[in-house]
Structure 1
Amino acid sequence: MRTDLYIARRYLVAKKSLGVIHVISVISAIGIAVGTAALILILSIYNGFNRIIESNLGDLTPDVLVTPVQGKYFVPEGPAFDALMDDARITRICSVVEEEVLLAYEGRQELARAKGVDAVYEEESRLGLHTVDGVFDLHKNGLPHAAVGVNLARKLGVLPQFVEPMTLYYPRRGARIPLTGPAAALGGIRIPLACTVSINASTDDELVVLPIEPLRGLLGLKDEVSGIELTLAGGSDRRTLRSLQELLGPDFRVQDRYRQQPALYKMMRYEKLAIYLILLFVVIIIASNIFGSLSMLRIAKEQDMQTLRALG
C-alpha cells in the first residue's frame, strides 16, 4: 500500500477521530446510498409498469390508425389506399368498424363499444393472448361469434359455454322513432359469445369484438369502415407518420399510439416527471447533508491539516 494512503487511512479511522462529526458523516453516506438505491429501484419499477401498460395497449391499439376528418365512415378506395397496400413499411392492414351499441342478454342490458374486424385482424391479432374464458375464434363452427370484455360479460351474466346468443341493438338508419314504441326503431343481430378477454378496466367494461360483416349489417353499411389499422415493420416515427399523412391527404387523420390514447400517455408522462422530481429533491437533501458534514469535518481537521502540510 502506498505510504500516503496508509497514513490517510490510519488518520481517518483512528479511535480519537470517531466523534460526532464522523458519525454524522457515516449517516449521511448511508443516506445518500439508500436514496440512490431507492431512485434506481422506483424508476425501474415504474418503467416496468409502463412497459406492461404499453404492451397491453399495443395488443389492442395499432401502430397507426387512419380515420376520416369529417364524418364517421369512409370507403377505403382510390390511389392512396392502393399505395398503402404496396408500401413495404406496412406489414398488416385491417379494416375496422366501431360504434356504440346496446348489448342485451336474458333481460339484462349494457352499453358497449362494438368493434367489427376483418379476417386479417382475427388471424394476426394478439387479443387471444388476453383470453379469460373460451377461445378467441370469431368464426367458430363457421358462424360469427363475439369476444366480450370480462366485466361486461359478468354484468350480463353470460359465459362462452351458454348456448343462448347475445343481442346487439342499434337504431335503424333513417327510421323514425315512434313515441309510443321507440324500441321499434332499433335493429338487432344475435351473436353467440366465443370468449371473454381482459386487457384493462376500460376494455373489460365495454369492449365487444365481432366480425365486420354482421356489424355492418346492423349499422346499415356496405363497404364503409370507421378506420384502417396499420402495423408497421419498424414501428411508427414522425417521418413515417408525416409521409403517410402526405400520401392520404388532408381528408384523413393519421394517428400513432400516443395520439390514439392522449389522456393515458399524458398521465404516464406526468407521473414519470413527478417521480423524477421527488427523487431528485430527496437526493439534493441527502447531498446537502453530506456536503455539510464534510464541511464540518474539514473545519475539525483544519489544525491537523496544517500540521500535515508542514510535514510535507
Structure 2
Amino acid sequence: MGYEWFVSLRYLRAKRKQTFISVISFISIAGVTLGVAALILVLAVMTGFHDGVRKQILGNIPHVLVQKYGGALEDSPGFLDDLRQVSPHVVAVTPFVARESMLLANGNVSAVSLKGIPRSHKVLKKEFLSLDNQDVASLLFREDDNHLPGILVGIDTATALGVSLGDTINVIPPMFTMTPFGMIPKMKPFRVVGIFRQGGGFLDTFFAYVSLPQAQAFLDSREQLTGIEIDVDRYDHAAGVAEALRARYGFPYVIRSWEDMFGSFLSALKLEKLGLFIVLGIIVLVAAFNIASTLIMVVMEKNKDIAILRSMGATSRSIMKIFLFEGLVIGVVGTSLGTVFGLLLAWNADPVIKWAERTFGLKIFDQAVYGMDHFPSVVNSGDVLAVVAVSLGISLLATLYPAWHAARTDPAEALRYE
C-alpha cells in the first residue's frame, strides 16, 4: 500500500484535539448512506408500482388490438390464422364483441363495456367467486335453455348493483326494438355466475363479460367482431408486432399496441420516477458538501504536515492523492452502507409496511385503492448501479477542490511561523 493511502487513512482517525473533524466525517458518511438508501428504496417502490400498474392494464386489455375503421371485422377463421402467422412472438389471437351497456338490478344502474369473449380468453384465468365453486368457463358457456345466460362482473360493479352470485342482471345496450307502441330499449336478463374475487385495478369495474355467441346474438353481430386481441410472449414485443401488422394490413384496419393505448400513463410514472431520483439525489449532494467541508478543515489543520511532506520530496500529485483518497473513503463507505441498507429495505418493504401498520395503527398502503395484494417493491439492478455511480461521482467531485488546494500549498510559507 502506497504511503498516500497510509496517510489518508491516518487522517481519518482523529486525535484528541481533532474530534470535531472526525464527527463531521461521520456525519458525511451518514449523509451519503441515507441519501443512497433513500434513492434505492424509492426507485424500487416506483418500479414496483410501474410494474403493478402495467400488469393490471395487461390483465384486462390485449397486447395488440386489431379493429376496423368505421365498421366491424368479419368472423373469419382464415383471417385469425393469418394474424397468428405475422410474428413468432404471437401466442394468442382472440376475437371479441363489445358494446357499452347499462346494467340494471335492484333499482341500481351501472355502466360497463359488455364484452363477449371465447373460452380461450385470458380473463377466464383470473380468480373468481363462482356458483358452487364451479369452473367459471363452464358456467359462462353452458348451453341450457332452462337457465339464463351467464355474466361475469367485477366486485365493485356487483356491490354497486347490490347483486351476488346467482342473481339476475338486466343488460341494456344502446339499441332499440320497434314495437306497435314505438321504440323501446333492447334488454335481456343475465345470471351472475362469477365475480372478480380480487380487485385487479381501475379497469375491472369497466368490463362485464359474457360468452361470445351470446354477445353476437344479443348485439346483432352474428358473424361479425368488434375487434381481435393479440397477446405476445413478452409485453415489450407488442410494439414490434403491431408495426408488422400495420405493414401488412393498411387502412381501414386500426392496429394499436398497449403502449399506444396506455403508454402515456406509464410514461407519467417514469417521469415521476426520474423526478424523485433528482430530488433525492440532492440528499447525496448535501452530503457531498459535508465531505468537501471536512476535507477543507483537514487541509487547514494539516497545513504543517503537508509542508513537511513536500519538504521531504512528496510531489503535488501525491499530496492531491492523499486527500482524494480520504474523500473517496468517505464516499465509498457511505455508498456501500447505503446500498446495503437500501436493498434490505427494498427487499423487505412489504413486511416493514405491515409491521408499521400493526404497531402504530396506521393505514399506509390501502390494497383496495391500488388493486395490489402487497406493497410493490422491485429492485432493478440498473437503478442500483446508477445510484452507486452518481453517489461515487458526486463524492469524487467534492474532493477535487480541497485536494487541489492542498497540492498548491507552499512549504516555505506554511513553515514560516512554525
* Change over 3 Å in CA distance of 1:38–1:132 after alignment to 2: farther
CA distance in 2, matches of 1:89, 1:47: 25
Distance apart, 1:250 and its partner CA = 2.5
Matched, 1:171 2:174: yes
Q: Report which stretch shifted further, 37-46 or 76-85.
A: 76-85
User: Paired residue for 2:274?
Assistant: 273
Amino acid at match of 2:157: L
Question: Which residue number corresponds to residue 260 of structure 1?
Answer: 261
Q: Shift in Å at residue 7 of structure 1? A: 5.3
Cα distance in 2, alignment partners of residues 105 and 272 from structure 1: 43
Q: Aligned letter for 1:58?
A: L
The TM-score with structure 2 as length reference comes to: 0.64
Task: Name the counterpart of 1:46.
Answer: 46
Distance 2:124 2:305 in 1: 72
Partner Cα distance (1:187, 1:246) in 2: 40
Partner of residue 155, structure 2: 150
The answer on whether the counterparts of 1:138 and 1:194 sit within 8 Å (CA) in structure 2 is no
In the alignment, the residues of structure 2 paired with residue 72 and residue 296 of structure 1 have an alpha-carbon distance, to the nearest angstrom, of 77
The answer for unaligned runs of 5 or more in structure 2 is: 314-418
Contact 1:67 1:227 in 2 (8 A): yes
Match of 1:28 in 2: 28
Distance 1:249 1:214 in 2: 31
Change (3 A) 1:310 1:76: farther
Partner of 1:232: 232
The alpha-carbon distance between structure 1 residues 79 and 145, as it changes in their structure 2 partners (threshold 3 A), is closer
Q: Secondary structure at the match of 2:49?
A: helix
CA distance, structure 2, for counterparts of residue 229 and residue 269 of structure 1: 26
Deviations 1:180-228 (A, max 9, x none): x88x521112211122114444234332111122222222211221211
Identify the residue that residue 131 of structure 1 maps to in structure 2: 128
| Shift in CA distance, 98/299, structure 1 to aligned 2, threshold 3 Å | farther
Mapped to 2, the partners of 1:273 and 1:171 lie a distance apart of: 44
What does residue range 177-188 of structure 1 map to in structure 2 within 5 Å? 184-188=183-187
Match of 1:296 in 2: 297
Superposition deviation, residue 263 in structure 1: 4.4
**Alignment length (residue pairs):** 302
- Any idea what SS the aligned residue of 1:261 has? helix
d(CA) in 2 for partners of 1:8 and 1:285? 23
User: Which one-letter code corresponds to 1:151 in the other structure?
Assistant: D
Residue 202 of structure 1 aligns to a residue whose secondary structure is coil
- Per the alignment, residue 91 of structure 2 pairs with 91
Q: 1:14 to 1:280 in 2, by over 3 A?
A: closer
Q: Indicate whether 1:117 and 2:141 are aligned.
A: no
C-alpha change, 1:139 and 1:22, in structure 2 (3 Å) is: same
Between the aligned partners of 1:202 and 1:264, the Cα distance in structure 2 is 13
CA distance in 2, matches of 1:45, 1:213: 43
The answer to whether the Cα contact below 8 Å between 1:132 and 1:150 also exists between their aligned partners in 2 is no
Shift of 1:21: 3.2
Offset, 1:81:
4.8
Alpha-carbon spacing, 1:310–1:271, altered in 2? closer, same or farther (3 Å): same
Residue 56 to residue 106, structure 1, CA distance change in 2 (3 Å)? same
- Give the direction of change, closer, same or farther, for the CA distance of 1:299–1:157 in structure 2 (3 Å limit): same
The alpha-carbon distance between structure 1 residues 108 and 138, as it changes in their structure 2 partners (threshold 3 A), is farther
Structure-1 separation of matches of 2:229 and 2:62: 6
Between Structure 1 and Structure 2, the one with more helix by share is 2
Q: Where does structure 1 lack aligned partners over 5 or more consecutive residues?
A: none
Identity %: 22
